[in-house]
Structure 1
């Protein structure tokens, strides 16, 4: 079972569905398309779309279409594949995307604070431990940050405020 989580808690009735050959969005749902299918739809003028970015995709291909995107889903196929962290950072910091960025796939509780710092703001969680900890409000914290981030730290003693680039 997949549950959608944001910093405010779990979301009920999320309309987004990652489309595959076997799964299509229904009448009350919104489709998240693969990059090539999305670019084809966007070239035709469609807007309010969702796009799935796989680890090997070039996220900069979205640049001319950012105004048409409602949601970018970043695929985390395995806990040790961190390319989607870079995609999130590029979307927020360099491309200036302000819409929803969602982590999908192998979303683990230990990675969520880092995903939030990179600009990911919603999570499709299937891991039972992560769902349990999030429902209990037990999100792990990170005491110090040395790198710039898409989401600045609220802690004045943190190092994330030193630079924005």
Structure 2
């Protein structure tokens, strides 16, 4: 199976931002800042784990999509980047997780405000194609995704449907 792009509705066909034959349509943060200053085309930016997404604040309204890189399963900095973009910077456009995206991460990506994922990991792509996400019923922290308190502990939350 090749690389797929997935969102809550399922696999996205003919996505203009999808990686094709190893080539990405996203530009670096520095390139995005330059392109926004000159005007022109829609911009899709790739935010690497060491980047500071707050640098994008002046041009957030010019960005069509922000891709957050997950270079390894154990590197969670992109989760923090997504929360920063949604909660503090108020970005309302599409945020996509790219890179080493595995199935177990997807529910947590959705909770922090990531809208879509791109993955080449065959078991993950197969399960996403089948719309079979792992279940995570209770959460212990607030997030971009709405949640409702349970009838037990005040800090325990259930995802709102």
With normalisation by structure 2, the TM-score equals: 0.87
Shift of 1:111: 0.4
Residue 139 of structure 2 aligns to a residue in which SS? Answer: coil
Shift of 1:87: 0.3
Partner of 1:62: 56
Partner of 1:28: none
Partner of 2:43: 49
Residue 107 of structure 2 aligns to a residue in which SS? Answer: helix
Which stretches of structure 1, 4 residues or longer, exceed 4 Å deviation after superposition? none
Q: How many residues align?
A: 152
Is residue 18–residue 52 contact of structure 1 (8 Å, CA) maintained in 2?
Answer: no
Shift of 1:48: 2.1
Pick aligned residue for 1:99 from 93, 96, 99: 93
* Aligned alpha-carbon RMSD (Å): 2.0
Pick aligned residue for 1:157 from 140, 150, 154: 150
Structure 2: gaps of 5 or more residues: none
Does the C-alpha gap of structure 1 residues 64 and 92 become closer, same or farther in structure 2, counting only changes over 3 Å? same
With normalisation by structure 1, the TM-score equals: 0.85
Residue 138 of structure 2 aligns to a residue in which SS? Answer: coil
Is residue 3–residue 19 contact of structure 2 (8 Å, CA) maintained in 1?
Answer: no
Shift of 1:160: 4.1
| 1:2-151 equivalence runs, <5 A | 2-17=3-18, 23=23, 31-46=25-40, 48-151=42-145
Distance 2:85 2:45 in 1: 13
Structure 1: gaps of 5 or more residues: 25-30
Is residue 118–residue 149 contact of structure 1 (8 Å, CA) maintained in 2?
Answer: yes
Does the C-alpha gap of structure 1 residues 69 and 97 become closer, same or farther in structure 2, counting only changes over 3 Å? same
